[in-house]
Amino acid sequence: MGIKVEIAQRLKKLPPYLFIEIDKKKKEKKDAGKDIIDLGVGDPDTPTPDYIIKKLCQEVENPNTHRYPLGKGLSSFREAIARWYKKRFDVTLDPDTEILPLIGSKEGIAHMPLAFVNSQETALVPDPCYPPYKSGTILAGGNPYYMPLLEQNDFLPDLDAIDSQVAKNAKIMFINYPNNPTGACANKDFFERVVSFAESNNIIVAHDAAYSELYYEEPKPMSFLEVEGAKGVGVEFHSLSKTFNMTGWRIGFACGNKDVIAGLAKVKENIDSGIFEAIQHAAIEALEIETDHIDELLKMYKQRRDVFVDGLNSLGWKVAKPKATFYVWTPVPPGYTSIELSDSLLEKADIVVTPGVGFGENGEGYIRVALTVDEMRLKEAVERIKKLHE
Ligand SMILES: *Cc1c(COP(=O)(O)O)cnc(C)c1O
């Protein structure tokens, strides 16, 4: 007979999954043998570089890596992260207290509110955004307060528009630049304003820098921690996923304020048992060995971006080229909602994209296109969209 399984209230509070219909249609099309061009998921299509794979294979054969991983990750990994940070951002980090390896940055991001947000307390969350800021807050019993990311503000939150009472009571502010889904970048001036906002309201800043290495124009994206006072207010999340095509490996890290790092570490001590050490060794290799991997990767995404954006603009669309990330935040032509356009692209052109509203209310009016298929396929996508115009 069995029991009646009822999920906890906190699960019921998670926002509804908006892509059910699209996923269903995508599956039907695939089953019917249609040639789908999937620009929906932000998952690199090219493989992890060979030198990283070789290192993993070598370390897998070493029995020392087979046991429970050590507490806060290998000290050699944390030291490699500190060296990479110094070299890339000229920021000095203490490997013992200011760096925490993660099982992918999503894991750390989703656990942040569990460490710092009490029941019914607030986290400031961008809208549109990468979903874990919102779901992590809700799972911890907190309430997200949305900061709209609008084109007229270069997709930066307007800190002056945040209700002052809300700001006083908020525990965490999530920000993310280069930004998913908008592709926007932040400058030093913005980060400085965030530091002073955080200081005046006693808020922990959690900056997600997963796309810091995927940029097409100078100046390079900066680290939040480069800004004066940043280490006093927050942490930054990094990931090897996008930089080294390692999404399936699950490895990233948080760094910055030592009290915040300690809080997050305490949650993790009680939930997970670390990252497979062979993967940590491979990650050291990724950060330490100089190759032309990143240059090649950026050249590839830039070409894809240009083919796709120039292609759509030649059809009369009005699409801006992102300066960073592999997403094109594409304005929806008049007469459609983002869901209607996504639906219609799938229905009539066998193209999968993500409707902007799926990332939050202020994502309405856009679709997110991930440049994670090759140039030929992007040309084909533009051709198919062209036919819709005829
Ligand atoms: C892909 C992505 C990440 C990386 O997640 P991992 O768990 O490290 O694979 C983090 N933040 C954003 C905004 C992303 O798009």
Ligand 1 midpoint to CA 209 (Å): 9
- What is the reported pLDDT for 164? 96
Percent of the chain, pLDDT > 70?
100
Q: Please, what are the domains in the chain?
A: 9-47+293-389 (3.90.1150.10), 50-288 (3.40.640.10)
- What is the reported pLDDT for 134? 97
- What is the reported pLDDT for 71? 81
> What are the percentages of helix, strand and coil residues in the chain, rounded to 5?
45, 15, 40
Weakly modelled stretches of the chain, pLDDT under 70: none
For 251-266, write each residue's pLDDT tens digit. 999 999 999 999 999 9
- What is the reported pLDDT for 21? 76
Q: 371 CB contacts (<8 Å, ≥6 apart)?
A: 39, 301, 304, 305, 308, 326, 327, 328, 378
- What is the reported pLDDT for 192? 98
Q: What angle do CA 108, 138, 119 make, to 5 degrees?
A: 100
Atom of ligand 1 nearest to the CA of 176: 13
Mutate to test the pocket of ligand 1, among 127, 211, 242 (most ligand atoms within 8 A of CB): 242
Alpha-carbon gap, residue 65 to 277, rounded angstroms: 5
Q: Smallest Cα–Cα separation from 357: which of 39, 16, 107, 11?
A: 16
Ligand 1 midpoint to CA 325 (Å): 11
- What is the reported pLDDT for 303? 98
- What is the reported pLDDT for 332? 96
- What is the reported pLDDT for 22? 78
- What is the reported pLDDT for 41? 87
Ligand 1 midpoint to CA 6 (Å): 31
Atom of ligand 1 nearest to the CA of 239: 8
Atom of ligand 1 nearest to the CA of 247: 9
Atom of ligand 1 nearest to the CA of 252: 8
Lining ligand 1 with CB less than 6 A are: 42, 104-106, 130, 176, 180, 208, 210, 239, 241-242, 247, 252
Which residue, chain included where needed, has tokens 């760094």?
255
Ligand 1 midpoint to CA 211 (Å): 8
Ligand 1 midpoint to CA 240 (Å): 9
